[in-house]
Amino acid sequence: MAKLIQWYPGHIAKAEKQLQEQLKLVDVIIEVRDARILNASHHPKVNQWIVGKGHVLVCNRVDMIPPAVRSRWQQWFQSQQQIAYFANAQLGTGIREVLKAAQGAGQQVNARRLQRGMLPRPVRAAVIGFPNVGKSALINRLLNRRVVASANRPGVTRQLRWVRISEEIELLDTPGVIPPLLEDQEAAIKLAICDDIGDAAYDTVLVAAEAIAQLTKLQVPLQARYHYKPEDSKGALAYLHDLAATEPYQGSLERIARQVLHDYRQGKLGAIALEPEPVTNGVG
Ligand SMILES: Nc1nc2c(ncn2[C@@H]2O[C@H](COP(=O)(O)OP(=O)(O)OP(=O)(O)O)[C@@H](O)[C@H]2O)c(=O)[nH]1
Ligand SMILES: [Mg+2]
């Protein structure tokens, strides 16, 4: 990739600072990842943030990956002694289990409070993760009404906000956070393809070309949608150029690039994980 993907706008820096302060009050971290990219959507700071707290891992957008991929990852997390809750925060599938897990983790905190002669209080859980992974949608689903803004673009939540779910639990909605430096550019490309970082971070045409390259590698039949067969030897950018020249796109590379990314993000090419195979080297 010729151009580096970097993006750390002021509002994210500010949100991260505020999050850091609020963490003192928090008993449980609900970490939300994108099921299509379970490694790339793991924020490296989470391991620090969960110290001394409960940790509930949510693999959201489960509807956007094939069931076989879900099973493989689930087993892999199990082998790492980590329970992964696969969820669809848009429809509400798997969400109750997340709530139960957060409550369970928080009860241990309250038990310790009781031992120290303190009164029990509602469990406080912070919902954190990269932008646009479905953190606010998850909170709305838990309340069964639209209490926080949730929309299909990164950077919707700008403020930290506590929401009382019940007498037992309060959730903190947080703006999506990203590391100040995206050291792993392979991961950054995947975040861009999945719309999990702001589009100011990247060049749409280059990211669309990367998407074409990855989808081709995953044997997604692109010609079925674009009526034009990719030629392996020519490369992904050349394919985009060829597509741009076809009638609907009127020679506009930008237009076909946006279309390809839109199609992938909307599931028009199918349920496709960009990280279908769990890795064994690390993040959990
Ligand atoms: N298909 C699908 N879409 C989802 C799922 N969860 C959330 N969405 C959609 O994804 C979009 C982003 O959801 P948000 O809840 O705004 O995401 P967020 O993590 O709060 O995003 P920021 O506040 O920008 O960091 C919305 O259009 C949701 O309806 C899911 O499991 N599957
Ligand atoms: Mg949000």
Say if residue 284's pLDDT is above 60: no
62 pLDDT higher than 90 = yes
Mean pLDDT of 110-139: 93
> Each residue of 88-110: pLDDT tens digit?
999 999 999 999 999 999 888 78
Q: Are residues 168 and 51 in the same domain?
A: yes
Range of the structural domain that residue 145 is part of? 17-173
The finding on whether 61 has its CB within 6 A of some atom of ligand 1 is yes
Residue 31 inside a domain? The answer is yes
Q: Which residues contact 187 (CB under 8 A, 6 or more apart)?
A: 37, 39, 40
Give the nearest ligand 1 atom to 139 CA: 15
Percentage, residues of the chain above pLDDT 90:
80
Nearest-CA neighbor of 150 among 178, 174, 171, 169? 174
Q: Specify whether 127 is located in the same domain as 244.
A: no
pLDDT the model gives residue 263: 98
In a domain, 192, yes or no: no
Does residue 96 sit in the same domain as residue 216? no
pLDDT of residue 280: 59
- Distance from residue 134's CA to the centre of ligand 1 (Å): 3
The atom number, within ligand 1, closest to the CA of 158 reads 23
Q: What is the pTM of this model?
A: 0.95
The number of domains in the chain is 2
Q: Which two tokens stand for residue 276?
A: 């279908």
What does the pLDDT average to over 1-10?
74
On whether both 78 and 209 belong to a single domain, the answer is: no
pLDDT digit string, tens, across residues 167-207 = 999 999 999 999 988 889 999 999 999 999 999 899 999 99
CATH classification of the domain holding 86: 3.40.50.300
44 and 103 belong to one structural domain: yes
pLDDT of residue 283 exceeding 70, the answer is no
Residue 8 lies in a domain: no
Residue 137, in any domain of the structure:
yes
User: In the predicted model, what is the mean pLDDT of the chain?
Assistant: 93
Confidence at residue 9, expressed as pLDDT on a 0 to 100 scale? 87
Please give the distance, rounded to the nearest whole angstrom, from the Cα atom of residue 227 to the centre of ligand 1: 31
Rounded distance between C-alpha atoms, residue 59 and residue 89, angstroms: 10
Percent of the chain scoring above 70 in pLDDT: 97
pLDDT for res 188: 96
Looking at the fold, whether 26 and 163 belong to one and the same domain comes out as: yes
Judge whether 125 lies within some domain.
Answer: yes
With the most atoms of ligand 1 within 8 angstroms of its CB, the residue from 63, 136, 160, 178 to mutate is 136
Same domain, 125 and 216: no
In a domain, 3, yes or no: no
| Band of residue 2 on the pLDDT scale cut at 50, 70, 90 | very low
Residue 255: inside a domain: yes
pLDDT (tens digit per residue) in 14-32: 999 999 999 999 999 999 9
pLDDT beyond 60 at 1:
no
My answer on whether 57 and 109 are in the same domain is yes
In a domain, 187, yes or no: no
The pLDDT value given to residue 106? 87
Task: Judge if 59 and 145 occupy the same domain.
Answer: yes
> Does residue 247 carry a pLDDT above 90?
no
Contacts of 281-284 spanning 24+ positions with Cβ under 8 A? 282/39, 283/39, 283/42, 284/77, 284/80, 284/82
Residue 134 has pLDDT above 80, yes or no: yes
Question: Residue 166: is its pLDDT beyond 50?
Answer: yes
The pLDDT tens digits for 213-241 are 999 999 999 999 998 888 777 899 999 99
Q: What are phi and psi of 102, to 5 degrees?
A: -65, -40
Residues 257 and 131 occupy one common structural domain: no
pLDDT at 23: 94
How do beta strands 161-164 and 84-87 pair?
Answer: unpaired
Question: What letter would DSSP give residue 183?
Answer: -
Q: Is the CB of 156 under 6 A from ligand 1?
A: yes
135 and 254 assigned to the same domain: no
Q: Are residues 168 and 207 in the same domain?
A: no
Which tokens is 271 given? 């349920």
